[in-house]
Structure 1
Amino acid sequence: MAPIVSEDHKEKKKREILESAHACFAKKGFQVATMNDIVEHSGMSKGAIYNYFNSKDEIYLELMRESTEQTYNSLKESILIFNSALEKIIFLFDLYDKGDGINIEDLSKTIVHYEFRLYSFRHEELNNKLNQRKQKYFLEFIEDIIKEGQYSGEFKSDLNPKLMADLFWSLIDGVTSQFVYKGYPQNEVLNEMKNMFINRLKV
Structure 2
Amino acid sequence: MPRVSDEHLAARRQQILDAAQRCFRRNGFHATSMQDVINEAGLSVGAVYRYFGSKHELVTSIAESVLDDADEIFVALTEAAPPLPLIEALDRALRFIEAQTGPEGIFRFAIQVWAESLRDPALAEFAARLYGRVRSRFVALARRAQQAGELSADADPEAVGAVLFGLMPAFALQRVLTGGPDPKTYLDGVTALLASQGVRQ
Report the CA distance shift for 1:34/1:194 in structure 2 as closer, same or farther (over 3 A): farther
The corresponding residue for 2:175 is: 179
Work out whether residues 139 and 162 of structure 1, in 8 Å CA contact, stay in contact via their aligned partners in 2: no
Q: Which runs of 5+ in 2 are unaligned?
A: none
CA distance in 1, matches of 2:13, 2:66: 15
Equivalences, count: 198
1:93 to 91, 94, 104: 91
CA distance in 2, matches of 1:100, 1:40: 30
Work out whether residues 152 and 198 of structure 2, in 8 Å CA contact, stay in contact via their aligned partners in 1: yes
Report matched runs for 1:46-195 at 5 Å. Answer: 46-77=45-76, 80-85=79-84, 87-97=85-95, 103-106=102-105, 109-136=106-133, 138-182=134-178, 184-187=180-183, 188-195=185-192
Report the CA distance shift for 1:122/1:54 in structure 2 as closer, same or farther (over 3 A): same
RMSD: 2.7
After TM superposition, the score normalised by the length of structure 1 is 0.83
CA distance in 1, matches of 2:100, 2:67: 22
After TM superposition, the score normalised by the length of structure 2 is 0.84
The corresponding residue for 1:31 is: 30
Report the CA distance shift for 1:70/1:25 in structure 2 as closer, same or farther (over 3 A): same
Deviation at 1:88, TM superposition (A): 4.3
Q: Which runs of 5+ in 1 are unaligned?
A: none
Deviation at 1:80, TM superposition (A): 4.4
Aligned residue for 1:44, secondary structure, equals: coil
Report the CA distance shift for 1:104/1:194 in structure 2 as closer, same or farther (over 3 A): farther
